[in-house]
C-alpha cells in the first residue's frame, strides 16, 4: 500500500469522522485490505459532471464527507460568481442514500447562507432542471447515479440555466472543490432556516410545461384508449409519468407493478438501465400479454427513455436509442410543418456519436441540424448560444435521451414518454405502428444501423489501460478497417480533422474532448470515446445502405449487422 494511501486512512481514523465510519475502516483493515486500499488510494474525482462512484467509507467513495466537501467547494464558487444572494434547488432519485446525500448537500449550502429549495421526496432529474429555471436559481444538485448498478450513487451539479456545468464554470468549480482538503473546512450545519421544502406546486407547473409540447391533442382524443405499458424500473418516473400521460389524455395506461415501487436495491434487475433488454423484460412480458401498442421504460432518475413496439410479424422488439431519436426528430419536424407552426429558423441538435440519419432528415426538410459533444449540457450550451436567433425544437443522443422544447436544459424521459406515446397514437390513427413508420423512414432516407460496444477495465489501473488504448490509436491509426479505406480521422482532443486521402487538415470547432472518429470511404463511421466518470471506453459503429424496397428490410438489416460484426473483429474488439 502506498504511503499516501496509508496517510489518508490514518487521517480518517484520527480526524472528525463519525464512529461508525472509523469502525468500518478498522473492519476493512482486518477483513478486506484490498477494498480498503481501493477506497483510499485516490480522492473521488469531482469531474465536469460532478461525482459518481461506489458508496462506502473512504476518499474514493460516495459518502457524507465526500459529498459535503464537494458541496462546500461548489458553494464557494457560486458565492464568488453571483455574490451573496444565491439560490439552489436539490432533488434526488430512489437510490440507497440519495435522500441522505441530498439533505447533506442542502445543509451545507444552507450553512453557507445559500437559499435552498429541497424537493420533499424523490423527483426526476428533468424536474430539477425545470425547477432551477422556474425558481430563478443560480445552481442546483441532483443526487443520482443514473442507470448504474445499485452499489453506486452520484452528485450532478447544475448552473443557472438548468443545464449541467460547462466551461468555464465546470473547471472553476472543480478547482474550488479541490481546494477543500479537510472535512473541517465544511460548514455542516447552522443554516437550516434557509431550506424550503418544495414539491406539489412545481409538479403542477412541470406537468403543464410538458403538456404544452403536444402537437396533436386532437389525435390523442381519438386514440385515448391507446394501450400503453410503462415501467419506472424502481425509479422516480412513477412520480411524473402517470400524471403526465393522464394530462395528455391517455386513459389506458398499465404500470408494471413489480417495478413500480421506488427501491434503491432494484430487486428485479441486474442493472436499472432501460438500454438493457433484461431491465425491460417484465415490461415486454406485460406488453405481449396485453397486446399493447407501446412499451415505455425510464431509468432511476427518469432522464433516459426506452420503448418497445411490435415488428411486422407482431413480435415485440426494443428500439435502440438512435431509432428512438430518429422517430422523435422526424415526428416534430413533420408535425410542425403539417400544423403550419414550423419556423424558418427552427433547429435541432444532436451529438457527434449519434446516427447521421438525423442530419439527412433535417437537411431534406430544410431544418438546421447541429452536432455537439456527447452530453446534454452541450446541447443546452448551443441553445444558449443560438437563443434569439434560432428556434430550438428538439435535441437527442444515442444513449436513450431526448430533450424536447427549451423549458428545461437536460435530457427528459418524462416528456419523451408523452411525446412517443403521442407519436404511437398518430401512427395508429394512420393504421400503422411506430416500427412500420421506422421502415418507411429507412426507405426514404436509407437504412442506418448502429451498434455500441462498451469495454470496462476494472481496478486501479483501469483508466491507464484505456489511456494506452487511445494513445495507440493516435500514434498508429488504422488506414483500412474491414474492406474500406479510412478517409478521415477526427481527433476532438487535439481539435483536428485530417483527410487521409488528400492530406488536408482543418481545425474542429468543438471544445476539446477525448474522442476519436474514423470515417470510412463507404460512409461508415467508428468513434472511440472513454468515459469521463468510469474506467470504461465506448466504441460506436454506424453503417448504412439504401433500402430500395421496404420488403427487403430484413435482408438488408442482416447484411448491415454482419458488416458491423466484421468491423468489430477487424479492430480486435
- Residue-wise pLDDT for 99-114, tens only, equals 999 999 999 999 999 9
Q: Tell whether the model's pLDDT for residue 237 goes beyond 90.
A: yes
CA angle 129, 217, 314 (to 5 degrees): 95
Output the pLDDT for position 531. Answer: 81
473-494 mean pLDDT: 94
The span from the CA of 236 to the CA of 540, in Å, is 29
Verify that 294 and 326 share a domain, yes or no: yes
Output the pLDDT for position 533. Answer: 61
Return the SS3 of 318: strand
The span from the CA of 66 to the CA of 156, in Å, is 13
Q: Tell whether the model's pLDDT for residue 297 goes beyond 80.
A: yes
Q: Tell whether the model's pLDDT for residue 314 goes beyond 80.
A: yes
Return the SS3 of 347: strand
Give percent of the chain with pLDDT exceeding 90. Answer: 94
Verify that 387 and 431 share a domain, yes or no: yes
Output the pLDDT for position 461. Answer: 79
**Taking all residues of the chain, what is their mean pLDDT, rounded to a whole number?**
96
Burial label, 53 (beta-carbon count in 10 A; 0-12, 13-18, 19+): buried
Residue 572: band (very low, low, confident or very high) from pLDDT cuts 50, 70, 90? confident
Q: Please check whether residue 396 is in contact with residue 350, taking contact to mean a CB–CB distance below 8 angstroms.
A: yes
Verify that 425 and 453 share a domain, yes or no: no
Verify that 424 and 482 share a domain, yes or no: no
Verify that 62 and 185 share a domain, yes or no: yes
Active-site pick, 94, 98, 129, 146: 146
Q: Is residue 215 part of a domain?
A: no
Verify that 115 and 152 share a domain, yes or no: yes
Which of 392, 416, 445 marks a domain boundary? 445
34-92 pLDDT per residue, tens: 999 999 999 999 988 899 999 999 999 999 999 999 999 999 999 999 998 999 999 99
Output the pLDDT for position 86. Answer: 98
Q: Tell whether the model's pLDDT for residue 1 goes beyond 90.
A: no
- Whichever domain contains 416, its CATH number is 3.40.120.10
Q: Domain range spanning residue 392?
A: 224-445
Peptide bond before residue 168 is cis, with ω within 30 degrees of 0 = yes
C-alpha cell at 344: 424558418
Output the pLDDT for position 539. Answer: 96
Output the pLDDT for position 460. Answer: 63
Q: Tell whether the model's pLDDT for residue 94 goes beyond 90.
A: yes
Judge whether 146 counts as a catalytic residue: yes
The span from the CA of 333 to the CA of 346, in Å, is 9
Q: Tell whether the model's pLDDT for residue 459 goes beyond 80.
A: no
Output the pLDDT for position 458. Answer: 75
Amino acid at each position: 500500500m502506498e504511503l499516501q494511501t496509508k496517510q489518508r486512512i490514518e487521517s480518517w481514523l484520527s480526524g472528525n469522522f463519525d464512529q461508525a465510519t472509523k469502525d468500518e475502516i478498522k473492519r476493512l483493515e482486518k477483513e478486506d485490505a484490498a477494498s480498503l486500499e481501493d477506497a483510499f488510494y485516490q480522492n473521488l474525482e469531482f469531474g465536469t459532471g460532478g461525482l459518481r462512484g461506489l458508496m462506502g467509507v473512504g476518499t474514493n467513495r460516495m459518502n457524507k464527507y465526500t459529498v459535503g466537501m464537494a458541496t462546500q467547494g461548489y458553494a464557494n464558487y457560486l458565492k464568488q460568481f453571483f455574490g451573496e444572494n444565491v439560490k439552489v434547488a436539490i432533488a434526488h432519485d430512489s437510490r440507497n442514500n440519495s435522500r441522505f446525500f441530498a439533505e447533506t448537500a442542502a445543509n451545507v449550502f444552507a450553512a453557507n447562507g445559500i437559499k435552498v429549495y429541497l424537493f420533499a421526496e424523490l423527483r426526476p432529474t428533468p424536474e430539477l432542471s425545470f425547477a432551477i429555471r422556474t425558481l430563478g436559481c443560480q445552481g442546483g444538485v441532483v443526487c443520482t447515479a443514473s442507470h448504474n448498478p445499485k452499489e453506486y450513487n452520484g452528485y450532478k451539479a447544475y448552473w443557472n440555466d438548468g443545464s449541467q456545468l460547462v466551461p468555464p464554470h465546470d473547471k472553476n468549480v472543480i478547482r474550488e472543490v479541490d481546494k477543500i482538503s479537510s472535512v473541517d473546512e465544511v460548514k455542516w450545519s447552522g443554516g437550516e432556516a434557509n431550506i424550503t421544502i418544495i414539491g406539489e406546486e412545481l409538479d403542477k407547473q412541470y406537468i403543464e410545461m410538458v403538456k404544452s409540447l403536444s402537437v396533436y391533442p386532437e389525435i390523442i382524443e381519438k386514440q385515448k384508449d391507446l394501450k400503453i405499458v410503462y415501467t419506472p424500473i424502481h425509479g422516480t418516473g412513477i412520480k411524473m409519468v402517470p400524471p403526465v400521460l393522464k394530462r395528455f389524455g391517455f386513459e389506458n395506461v398499465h404500470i408494471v407493478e413489480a417495478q413500480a415501487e421506488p427501491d434503491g436495491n432494484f430487486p428485479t434487475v441486474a442493472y436499472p438501465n432501460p438500454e438493457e433488454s433484461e431491465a425491460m423484460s417484465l415490461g415486454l412480458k406485460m406488453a405481449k400479454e396485453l397486446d399493447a401498442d407501446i412499451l415505455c421504460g425510464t431509468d432511476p432518475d427518469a432522464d433516459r427513455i426506452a420503448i418497445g413496439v411490435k415488428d411486422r410479424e407482431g413480435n415485440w422488439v426494443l428500439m435502440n436509442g438512435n431509432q428512438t431519436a430518429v422517430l422523435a426528430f422526424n415526428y416534430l419536424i413533420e408535425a410542425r410543418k403539417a400544423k403550419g407552426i414550423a419556423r424558418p429558423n427552427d433547429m435541432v441538435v444532436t451529438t457527434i456519436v449519434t446516427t447521421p440519419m438525423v442530419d439527412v432528415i433535417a437537411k431534406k426538410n430544410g431544418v438546421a441540424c447541429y452536432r455537439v459533444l456527447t452530453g446534454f449540457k452541450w446541447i443546452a450550451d448551443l441553445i444558449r448560444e443560438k437563443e434569439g436567433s434560432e428556434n430550438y425544437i428538439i435535441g437527442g443522443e444515442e444513449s436513450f435521451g431526448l430533450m424536447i422544447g427549451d423549458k428545461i436544459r437536460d435530457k427528459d424521459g418524462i416528456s419523451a414518454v408523452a411525446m412517443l406515446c403521442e407519436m404511437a397514437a398518430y401512427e395508429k390513427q394512420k393504421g400503422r405502428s411506430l416500427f412500420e413508420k421506422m421502415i418507411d423512414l429507412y426507405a426514404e432516407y436509407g437504412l442506418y444501423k448502429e451498434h455500441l460496444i462498451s469495454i470496462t477495465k476494472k481496478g486501479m489501473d483501469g483508466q491507464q489501460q484505456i489511456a494506452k488504448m487511445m494513445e495507440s490509436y493516435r500514434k498508429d491509426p488504422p488506414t483500412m478497417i474491414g474492406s474500406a479505406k479510412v478517409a478521415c480521422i477526427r481527433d476532438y482532443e487535439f481539435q483536428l480533422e485530417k483527410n487521409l486521402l488528400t492530406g488536408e487538415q482543418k481545425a474542429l470547432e468543438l471544445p476539446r474532448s477525448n474522442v476519436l472518429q474514423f470515417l470510412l470511404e463507404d460512409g461508415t463511421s467508428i468513434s472511440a470515446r472513454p468515459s469521463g466518470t468510469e474506467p470504461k471506453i465506448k466504441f460506436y459503429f454506424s453503417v448504412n445502405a439504401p433500402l430500395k424496397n421496404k420488403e427487403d428490410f430484413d435482408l438488408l438489416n442482416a447484411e448491415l449487422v454482419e458488416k458491423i460484426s466484421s468491423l468489430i473483429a477487424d479492430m480486435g474488439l
